[in-house]
Structure 1
Amino acid sequence: MTDPRTRQRQSRATALACLGIVAGMTALAFAFVPLYDLFCKATGFDGTPRTGASRTGPVSEDRMVVHFDTNVAPGLSWRFQSETPRVEAQLGATQTVFFRVTNTGTVPSTGIATFNLQPALTGSYFVKVQCFCFNEQTLKPGETMDFPVVFYVEPGIKVDSNTRDLTEMTLSYTYFASKNGQPQAALATPAGIKAN
């Protein structure tokens, strides 16, 4: 038979171990989103374009058509468009495309753009050197601003067996109302309409 003091120590040790596991899991839950975001940006996982410096390697003769899709979430009175709907990018060559944003509302408003790349497999080969995304922009009524996106497509996209047959990709941006540097879908959804 076990001594009551020994059982009490074992119970205390078990309770402390459980408390440690709960604290660790809670910390991981809070760290998951920023760590996942960092992972996606570093690897291009799930259609997230990578960020990096200008490319210095050789340029390929191969080309990839890059389409630009621009959207504004409901509730944000902005007009948003790229200077061109698409470019034929030479692999490895740095490209610059400008995007124009206009506040069509009657009051100043702040927005922030999120982005995605499709097909998702191309994310690890699309490298943004400069981008307006994830920077809050505040526009006065009627104000227009132009923002550049500087990028290149890694030539390795034609070596990867998963992507070598692709000839097109789409870089999609959506502007949302912003609060404290975070997209606010709730602010962008009119009352009575559920967000998808």
Structure 2
Amino acid sequence: MTAAPSGPGRGAKRTAIACAGLAVGMVGLAFASVPLYNAFCKATGYDGTPRQGPALAASAARTDDSMVVHFDTNVAPGLSWKFVPEVSRVEAKLGETKTVFFRVQNVGSAPSAGVATFNVQPGLMGGYFVKIACFCFNEQTLQPGETLDVPVVFYVDPAVRDDSNTAHLSEMTLSYTYFASKNGQPVKATVAKSGSSETKGDF
């Protein structure tokens, strides 16, 4: 019986197959990691991503301490919308549930769809800014001239004062950017401010 051929050629083939398998596995892992990373950020507040959770009991609120929350609104290029908060900032007692409305208007001449992304600054506040309800990642379709008011319901976790990295903070910013969207997904990958950052709080 003739022995199976061996040598550099066969070894190179095995290496190529192994590399191809590794590449496929890495691509699959990359796609799988996106939702896992998003879920991790929402649960922990990592990377400036606000947590999501239920409201605190009224007894948990601290009436002797508060946080000033500023609102920053932006529209990415390619979406002819106007986007402003009802107020430019609020003072929230720690643990107190607050509701703030934002107004979006299609100022273009054709129907268009958009979806909002968000972030908190300083990034360390992401773990203590808790969203109970939010319009972010919900695709909205507006007709020309149509206006829509959308709310965000949130509280600032009193535990912010127990963290030496955030105990001294008295102000933070919640920032939103609306992107043109298709099938619920932003079609622009680059976050950019609109020609006029209209965070004035004058509906």
TM-score category (smaller protein): 0.7 to 0.9
Give the unaligned 5+ runs of structure 2. Answer: 193-203
Distance 1:7 1:66, change over 3 A: same
What is the match of residue 48 of structure 2? 47
Kindly tell me: are residues 188 and 93 of structure 1, through their superposed partners in 2, closer, same or farther at Cα, counting changes over 3 Å?
closer
In structure 1, what is the Cα distance between the partners aligned to 2:159 and 2:99?
20
Deviations 1:10-69 (A, max 9, x none): 958777655543332221122122221121111111110011112226111210000000
Tell me, in whole angstroms, the C-alpha distance in 1 between the residues paired with 2:129 and 2:34. 22
Which of 58, 61, 64 matches 2:60?
A: 58
Structure 1: gaps of 5 or more residues: 190-196
Q: Which residue identity lines up with residue 45 of structure 2 in the other structure?
A: G
Instruction: Report the more deviating stretch, 166-175 or 102-111.
Output: 102-111
Name the CA distance, whole Å, in 2 between partners of 1:69 and 1:99.
11
1:142-194 per-residue CA deviation (whole Å, 9 max, x = no partner) reads 111111100001000011000000110000001111111111117999xxxxx
Distance 1:138 1:162 in 2: 40
RMSD (CA atoms): 2.5
Cα distance in structure 1, aligned partners of 2:189 and 2:169: 36
Cα deviations by residue, 1:101-142 (Å, 9 ceiling, x for unpaired): 111111111111111100000001001001000000011111
User: Which residue among 83, 97, 100 is the counterpart of 2:100?
Assistant: 97
Whether 2:162 is the aligned partner of 1:153: answer no
| Cross-structure match for 1:123 | 126
Determine which of 175, 181, 185 is the counterpart of 1:182: 185
Counterparts in 2 of 1:106 and 1:48: CA distance versus 1, 3 Å? same
C-alpha separation between the residues in 2 aligned to 1:187 and 1:40? 20
Runs of at least 4 residues off by over 2 Å: 3-8, 10-24, 186-189
1:113 to 111, 116, 122: 116
Q: Given the superposition, is the C-alpha separation of residues 158 and 4 from structure 1 closer, same or farther in structure 2, using an over 3 Å criterion?
A: farther
Distance change >3 Å, CA 109–CA 18, structure 1 → 2:
closer
Change in 2 beyond 3 A, CA 1:127/1:186: closer
Q: What's the counterpart of residue 32 of structure 2?
A: 31
Q: What residue is the counterpart of 1:87 in the other structure?
A: 90
Match of 2:136 among 130, 133, 136: 133
Q: Is the 8 A contact 1:177 1:188 kept in 2?
A: no
Distance in 2 (CA, whole Å) between partners of 1:186 and 1:47 is: 18
Measure, in 2, the Cα distance between the counterparts of 1:20 and 1:4: 28
From the superposition, tell whether residues 180 and 117 of structure 1 become closer, same or farther in structure 2 (CA, over 3 Å): same
AA aligned to 1:31 is A
**Structure 2 counterpart SS, 1:31:** helix
Q: Please say which of residues 107-116 and 31-40 is displaced more in the overlay.
A: 31-40
User: Paired residues, what number?
Assistant: 186
C-alpha deviation, 1:4, in angstroms = 4.4
Distance in 2 of aligned mates of 1:187 and 1:119:
20
